[in-house]
A = this chain, B = another copy of it.
Amino acid sequence: MQKRYDVLTLGETMIRLAPPRWQRLEQADSLEVAVGGAESNVAVALSRLGLKTAWVSRLTDNPLGHRIAQTLRAHGVDVSHVIWTPAGRVGMYLVEFGQPPRATTVIYDRRGSAMSEMTPGDFNLTLLDEARLLHVSGITPALSPACRALAEGVLRMAAERGVLRSFDVNYRAKLWSADEARAALEPMCVGVDVLFVTQQDAQRLFERQSDAPEILRWLQARFNVGVAVMTMGKEGAMALDRDGCFYKGQAEPTPEVDPLGSGDAFAAGFLFGYLTDGNLASALQLGASAAALKRTIPGDLALISLEDLRQVTDQNEGQIRR
Contact = CB atoms under 8 A, between A and B. Distances in A.
Interface of A: 17, 22-33, 62-64, 66-67, 70-71, 73-76, 89, 92, 94, 96, 98-109, 111-112, 172-174, 233, 252-257, 259-260, 289, 292-293, 296-299, 303, 308, 311-312, 315, 317-322
B320 A260 contact: yes
B25 A311 contact: no
Contact of A63 (B107, B256, B322): B107
B112 A22 contact: no
Nearest to A297: B24
Number of copies: 6
A320 B298 CA distance: 15
A98 B296 CA distance: 7
B27 A30 contact: no
Nearest to A305: B66
Nearest to A295: B99
Contact of A173 (B260, B289, B296, B322): B322
Nearest to A200: B319
17 contacts: A17-B17, A22-B296, A24-B297, A24-B303, A26-B66, A28-B33, A31-B33, A63-B94, A73-B76, A92-B92, A100-B254, A100-B318, A101-B293, A101-B296, A102-B297, A102-B308, A103-B321
Contacts of A172: 322
Contacts of A67: 25-26
A40 to B, nearest CB: 14
A257 B22 contact: yes
Given A24-B297, A107-B63, A112-B111, A101 B254 contact: yes
Nearest to A79: B76
